[in-house]
Amino acid sequence: MTKRFTGRRPPLLALGTIAAGGLVLTACGDQAEEKLFSSVDECVKWGVEQSVCQGEYQSALSQHLRDAPRFDGMAACEAEYGAGRCMTQPRTDGSGAGNFFIPFMTGYLVSSAVSNLSSSGYGTYVNSGSYRRSTPVFTNRSGMLYRSDPPQIGEAPRPRPANVNTRTVSRSGFGGLSSGRMSFGG
């Protein structure tokens, strides 16, 4: 029998595995927090570049116009989302003349990951597929926030509640400790 790895140099496969494992653990580290903005100016005040905020707003608006719940009448839309919270959109699907009605977009969610992007790196990062675009948000009659995520293939668009109370949990890497404070009652 011959012994493997008896030389002085460590095997390349083992080094590659260790390096790849470190990259995977680093990539799974912190999760980005989503921040709700009602305007581009509010986004800029948070510290994100004007061009990035404007791009995220336009992305959310186009997604909202495409995926928001649609109603055949203004009364039906306002019954669900409240008086003065709906707008008219022309039909562009070839089904004939007329309009449909959707709730107003009251804001948009942006990942905190964009706050570290410069305008030059923005397009590259977004187009790489590792970044989730901003998400439009609208409010129903009772004031609940909803997001209109793109539908899956063969599925109709449907709103779901927006979770804007997300927090980032920082971990110290592999084997690190995580701590948090809790209080009960006050």
Which domain covers residue 115, as residue numbers? Answer: 32-68+105-161
Encoded tokens for 99: 């309009």
CA distance 60 to 38: 11
Which of the two residues, 161 and 61, has the higher pLDDT score?
Answer: 61
Q: How many CB atoms lie within 10 A of CB 112?
A: 17
Exposure string for 25-41, b = 16+ CB within 10 A, e = fewer: eeeeeeebbbbbbeebe
112 or 44: which carries more pLDDT confidence?
Answer: 44
Does the residue 64 lie in any domain?
A: yes
Count of domains forming the chain: 1
Instruction: Flag whether 83 is in a domain.
Output: no
Give CA–CA dist 48/34, Å, rounded.
Answer: 13
| 107-128 pLDDT, tens digit each | 888 876 665 554 444 443 343 3
Q: What are the tens digits of pLDDT across the range 62-77?
A: 999 888 899 999 999 9
Residue 125 within a domain? yes
What are the pLDDT digits (tens) for 74-97?
999 999 989 999 999 988 766 667
Task: Note whether residue 157 is domain-resident.
Answer: yes
Residue 134: pLDDT over 60: yes
By the 10 Å C-beta count (0-12 exposed, 13-18 middle, 19+ buried), 61 is classed as: middle
